[in-house]
Amino acid sequence: MQDKPLVEVKKLKKSYGDTEVLKEINGTVMPGQVICVIGPSGAGKSTFLRCLNMLETPTAGQVLFEGKDTQKFSEEELTTLRERMGMVFQSFNLFPNLTVLENLKLAPIRVKKMSDKDAEEKALALLKRVGLDEKANVYPSSLSGGQAQRVAIARALAMDPECLLFDEPTSALDPEMVGEVLAVMKELAEDGMTMVVVTHEMGFAREVANEVWFMADGYLLEKNKPDEIFSNPQNARTKDFISKIINS
Amino acid sequence: MKVKGRNVLLTIMTLCLSLLFLFTVQPTHHTVYAADDSLQKIKDRGKIVMATSPDYPPYEFQVSKNGKSRIVGMDVDIMKQVAKDLGVKLEIKSMSYDSVLVAVETGKADVAMSGINPTAKRRQSVDFSEIYYNGGQSFLINKTDVGKYKNKAALAHKKIGAQTGTLQYNLAKSKIPGATVKGMDKNTDLVLALKTHKIDALGIETPSAEAYVKNDHDLAMIKSGYKLNKNETGSAMAFKKGSGTLAAAVNKSIDKIKAKHLTTQYLADAGKYMKVNTNNTSMFHYWTYFAKGIEYTLIISAISVVLGVLLGTILALMRFSRSKILKAISVAYVEFVRGTPLMVQVMFVYFGIGIIVNLPALLSGIIAVSLNSGAYVEEIIRGGINSVDKGQTEASASLGLAKGDTMRFVVLPQALKNIWPALGNEFVSLIKESSIVSIIGVTDLIYQLNIVRADTYRGVMPVFVAMIIYFVITFILTRVLNYAEGRMKHAR
């Protein structure tokens, strides 16, 4: 692991009107790290994740990307940030008007100015990697949830990001499809991709994460190695949450 | 972005102010104007432009010869003589009767000649030539009523029809006790109203009445019996205020025509043409008229649909832009255009803008219909953009796509699919509403329909034919749109 952090979060706050969703978050993501963010719903996990690539603008505090304040980014720097930090959404958000292949090609061609041929080669290779190369020319509406999410991951990978953000990637899936998506994510982690994953899949967190962050009520209450946090939680809220999950 | 927006606003404000200036300043400008160059201008140009509404035989009407239609009639013959005396060519601009006086006021034409009576009210806004013809006033009645309505006195407390804005209308209102006066735009409609007993009599100029009686055996005529001032009851040519030199030259020609009794010959010639028109009044015989109407209706609709969608898209994007000024312009434009009738917009573009740039009628029509449609399309597109899931924009942004690319490749294609039925609806109504351009003389289907009605003395059949044609056009369009919608189905 390198020494310089990829992302640093300092005293991050976010509110919508009078509702304070994030009260104070501090944290560091090192290159190659896989961080799983867990916690009860309403904790602010998704909002936190969306502050990292500036889909949400923080109300106070800082998000530093390679030491630079993302709130001071120009339109151009923001594009670069998002190129390097891909995102996978709970509801996939594939573009229904484009085929699977076109979904993968669009950003490399428009943003990276890649040639159509190169983009296509790359897209097909990525589809093969997630096991969906035979679906290249279908429209997203004909895919199952699990397939759609794997395509969404491939689409994010098409931009060669250094870091991937996952916002509850398996929450909208039927149970039998969760496995195929997690398998792809696990493979990515093994290949050394930096990942921040908001998830309810405790098995995945325990097995794949380097660090688990527990969030509740807009605070980042505890961060630790997965084994520690699951077997020996320090914070009372963490204890309560973990016991509920294990007993359910 | 901000500076640019301010510039746009500035341009628009300057334009509005200069328009206002032109409108308010113009009348005084002309009364004060010392040198009257009205005649010299026509001579320099080598042609005189005449505005007329060719649905008023025997004064002016259309005939078709070898598939080409042209405007003929007594007025046209007189004007030809005038042009010859002036040593210039004659150009005829046809438009609705309501528009001919506006056309000379706004400089679209040098002279309006359409069987116009020089009433005192009209003299306030235009100059008139001498009376060139005095046809006298009559009433058309149903033949079955001949015994009932023998004279004007018998028409008291009856329903009298007359063309809106004409002398006949005002006379019926003021001189027939207790009469209910019903005004319509066209004599063809009024004759139809008469024959279906919606009115009891129709006030009309004697030559026109004679033509109708000759061509329709269900009709009869009676003398009006009005005691009238000779200066107001005849027909005269109208000029823009302050056209003294032109009027003087034209009056000289009129005197000559009167001295030689040329109008008798002109009327006889007109009668011959009318016979040609009524020889065969089957609708097939007039198919070239309808074909031309279809051609122009399609030209106007097709171009306006494209321009309207383009304008609507731009307005919608302005509405979603971060610049408050662009947003405000878009909102104001849509509100204003939706809040004013298309007919007024058409007349504004043709006559109003015409003061600055002389736009031909067809172009004016296309501009007005496009500007109008753009406002409605903006609302449809705005709804479509709002209907696209926010997750789509976020996913696109998370990939680093610029706002413009997100719109172009992700949001608009999906919006288009959602709004397709509404957009199709707009196209269909545009085709139908484009018919309003007939008032400025664009030869679209409605305009041609009225020509055919005037020429054939058949009130209903041409309307029925036009109805079928409109239906066929919109039906085909609807099929095409449905097919396109089916092809877009895969999206989601």
For B83-123, write each residue's pLDDT tens digit. Answer: 999 999 999 998 888 889 999 998 889 999 998 988 888 88
Confidence check: pLDDT of A192 > 90: yes
State the pLDDT at residue B66.
66
CA atoms of B92 and B442, how far apart (whole Å): 13
Confidence check: pLDDT of B222 > 50: yes
A98: chain B residues, CB-CB within 8 Å: 409
Residue pairs between chains A and B whose CB atoms are closer than 8 Å:
73
State the pLDDT at residue B33.
47
A156: chain B residues, CB-CB within 8 Å: 398-399
Closest by CA position to B270, among listed B226, B216, B215: B215
Place of tokens 């005192």: B120
pLDDT digits (tens, 9 = 90+) for A10-51: 999 999 988 999 998 999 999 999 999 999 988 899 999 999
In this complex, the residue of B392, B398, B491 whose CB is nearest that of residue A53 is B398
Q: Do B401 and A107 touch (CB under 8 A)?
A: yes
Chain A interface, best mutation among B398, B406, B410, B490, by max A CB count within 10 A: B398
pLDDT band at residue B4 using 50, 70 and 90 as cut-offs = very low
Q: Do B490 and A141 touch (CB under 8 A)?
A: yes
pLDDT digits (tens, 9 = 90+) for B271-303: 888 877 777 778 888 888 899 899 999 999 999
Higher-pLDDT residue of B66 and A42 is: A42
State the pLDDT at residue B1.
36
Residues of B with CB under 8 A from a CB of A: 389, 391-392, 394-402, 405, 409-410, 413-414, 417, 490-492
Count of C-beta atoms within a 10 Å radius of residue B338: 12
Using DSSP, state whether B229 is helix, strand or coil.
coil
State the pLDDT at residue B32.
42
Contacts of B415 (CB under 8 A, 6+ apart): B381, B384, B385, B387, B388
Chain B interface, best mutation among A110, A111, A139, A163, by max B CB count within 10 A: A110
| Mean pLDDT within B48-52 | 94
In this complex, the residue of A91, A96, A111 whose CB is nearest that of residue B399 is A111
Higher-pLDDT residue of B231 and B135 is: B135
pLDDT digits (tens, 9 = 90+) for A86-143: 999 999 999 999 999 999 999 999 999 999 999 999 999 999 999 999 999 999 999 9
State the pLDDT at residue B414.
92
Please, what sign has the CA dihedral across residues B128, B134, B137, B138?
A: negative
| Mean pLDDT within A188-205 | 94
Higher-pLDDT residue of B355 and B49 is: B49
Q: Do B401 and A106 touch (CB under 8 A)?
A: yes
What's the predicted TM-score (pTM) here?
0.73
Confidence check: pLDDT of B256 > 60: yes
**Which residue of chain A has the CA closest to B416?**
A97
| Mean pLDDT within B470-479 | 94
CA atoms of A199 and A39, how far apart (whole Å): 8
B387: chain A residues, CB-CB within 8 Å: none
Please, what sign has the CA dihedral across residues A98, A100, A104, A105?
A: negative
Listed ranges A96-105, B51-60, B213-222; the one with the highest mean pLDDT: A96-105
